Amino acid sequence: MTGGGDLLAGKVVMVTGASSGIGAAAARVGARHGAALVLMARRLPRLEELAAQLRGEGAEVVCAAGDVTSPDDVKRAVGLAVDRYGRLDAAFNNAGTTTEPALLHETDDADYDTVLDVNLRGVWLCMKHQIKAMLAGGAGGAIVNNSSIAGVRATSAGAPYVAAKHAVLGLTKAAAAQYAARGVRVNALATGLTRSEMSEAVFARDPAAEERMRRRNPQGRVADPEEVARVAVWLCSDQASFVTGATMAVDGGAGAW
């Protein structure tokens, strides 16, 4: 989907959860396609290390340390884009978390709150401020929210995670319908098993989990983060100009089984 080198040329793109995994991959792919990047994550040293690498390759990058569950942090990150570049054209809301899965009736209240706050409230807050900036800029924009195959069916990730990722798809569709006429497109990814800190933590807790998950996937493998990032970048670009309210599966065919 991203064979050229200028899909995002001249565009200002915000990426959350950018310090590792799919978020960091999206920053790399976005930089290769000409985007000016605003990277947000809690771990500033990791962000700055990535930003330095990308600047060394000629990219324009600024970092916004912050937590997507904090209205002030999100507002500050979006404001950084507007103050530095004059506008915000696109965003990839990727930040997410999970806790050790448990049966619903045995799930700790704090674990539920953590998963819903980051995966759902975080997307809500980001869209709220991103859309406001895009409307103020007058040219619209594109938002991509990272959901999961857990957003379309129950998985072993646990009830709070499944609930949050289903809700992300609902937010995506609602926003797409509300803002389509004003030039803002909103889409989501239903990502499958991808190599990341989150998946590695799952495999560390349960060494047999990776093989089980591979067997459930028609391609029989774990995705590289850039395979997901390339789809997010395409959806942020003008090549996806007639795509909004969509949930794009990036799961190696897992949803087909």
DSSP character string of 159-186 = HHHHHHHHHHHHHHHHHHHHHGGGTEEE
Name residue 253's amino acid: G
pLDDT in tens, 135-153: 999 999 999 999 999 999 9
Mean pLDDT of the chain: 93
Q: Is 232 helix (H, G, I), strand (E, B) or coil?
A: helix
Rounded alpha-carbon distances, angstroms, from residue 139 to 109, 120, 176, 188? 42, 27, 16, 21
Tell me the pLDDT band of 64, cut-offs 50, 70 and 90: very high
- The encoded tokens of residue 218 equal 């028609």
pLDDT in tens, 77-116: 999 999 999 999 999 999 999 998 899 999 999 999 999 9
Quickly tell me which residue has 């072993």 as its tokens: 156
Rounded alpha-carbon distances, angstroms, from residue 74 to 43, 48, 212? 15, 18, 37
Q: Is 90 helix (H, G, I), strand (E, B) or coil?
A: strand
The sheet with strand 141-146 has its strands ordered as 60-65, 36-41, 12-16, 90-93, 141-146, 184-191, 247-250
Task: Check pLDDT > 70 for residue 2.
Answer: no
Task: Check pLDDT > 80 for residue 196.
Answer: no
- The encoded tokens of residue 17 equal 């959860």
Quickly tell me which residue has 């065919």 as its tokens: 253
Strand 90-93 with 247-250, pairing: unpaired
Dist CA 157 CA 97 (whole Å): 11
Active site residue 112: no
Residue ranges with strand state E in 68-147: 90-93, 141-146
Report which secondary-structure segment, H or E, holds 248.
Answer: strand 247-250
Radius of gyration of the chain (CA): 17
Contacting residues for 42 by C-beta, under 8 A, at least 6 apart? 19, 65, 66, 67
- pTM for this model (two decimals): 0.93
Residue ranges with strand state E in the chain: 12-16, 36-41, 60-65, 90-93, 141-146, 184-191, 247-250
